[in-house]
Amino acid sequence: MLNRLLITGAAGGLGKMARNRLGHLAQTLRLSDIGEMAPAGSNEEIVTCDLGDRDAVMKLVEGCDGIVHFGGVSTEQAFDPILNANIAGVYNLYEAARAAGMPRILFASSNHTIGFYTQDQHLTVDMPTRPDSLYGVSKCFGEALASMYFDKFGQETAIVRIGSCFPEPKDHRMLATWMSEDDFVALIERVFTIPRLGCPVIWGKSANDRSWWDNSASEFLGWRPKDNAEIFAPAMDERMERPDRNAPEARFQGGKFCAEPIYKD
């Protein structure tokens, strides 16, 4: 059991899920966000923190021996908020971790690092990134930073390219990208209990029949996803039409992000 596990982005969807389901991993959960969070429970600490504030992040990470980093901008936006939270913020987090004895990190990357690959392509983790957005570019930066901190300092990180983690897939593209909450929790458990982690890139997806992603490089983790989005396909076909084959959500692995404009401040 960890002494103190930090969950950033604790006010978001994944952060709330992690708060509810990861209490068994640590004596104390330290929960952080810039948004409003529910009051602290018996084994919880609430810390409001802007990831772009270096001194605040240093204090946030102090005393933690594990970090689940969900914090930051999670949609395509103008560059300045992405720069603050996803680029400067990730640098601040890694510098704080280095100062705090290098607690193991799970870094929430994204399928939008590879979004411009088409849906007829099957990817391994060593293929070049093809980001579909400024958001995707920021996640490529985070992956590169994690890799450098491992090679230079030995900072271990699980780089998880999350597909679509919801209770169930929301559209046809997610039949390939979906990761169940149960499978994600099982992955997080492995990340913080395996004796040696290194800095692997892991596709964050369940055992979906329609998956585009090969996770053989991370089999050493011992994580075996059990769920399959295919069980949702019949009901989805009944309630919504398949997108036109030329639509971004039917052509590209990143879906609609590939058609997003560059937003101005």
What CATH number did the domain enclosing 165 receive?
A: 3.40.50.720
Q: What is the span of the domain harbouring residue 191?
A: 2-259
Q: Is residue 232 part of a domain?
A: yes
> Looking at the 3D structure of the chain, how many domains does it have?
1
In a domain, 265, yes or no: no
Burial class, 167, CB count within 10 angstroms (exposed 0-12 / middle 13-18 / buried 19+): exposed
State the catalytic residue, choosing from 91, 94, 117, 135: 135
Q: What is the mean pLDDT of each run of 10 residues along the chain (265 residues)?
A: 97 97 97 96 96 98 98 96 98 98 98 98 98 98 98 98 97 98 98 98 98 97 98 96 96 97 88
Residue 135 a catalytic site member: yes
d(CA 13, CA 81): 19
Q: Are 135 and 76 in contact (CB under 8 A)?
A: yes
60 is a domain residue:
yes
Kindly state whether residue 192 falls inside one of the protein's structural domains: yes
In a domain, 154, yes or no: yes
Residue 185 in any domain: the answer is: yes
Residue 226 domain flag = yes
C-beta separation of 90 from 145 below 8 A: yes
What is the bridge-based pairing of β-strands 157-162 and 201-204?
A: parallel
Reported pTM? 0.97
Cα–Cα distance for residue pair 212/238, rounded to 1 Å: 24
Residue 156 in 3-state DSSP? coil
End-to-end CA distance of the chain: 44
Structure confidence at residue 132 (pLDDT): 98
Instruction: Kindly state whether residue 152 falls inside one of the protein's structural domains.
Output: yes
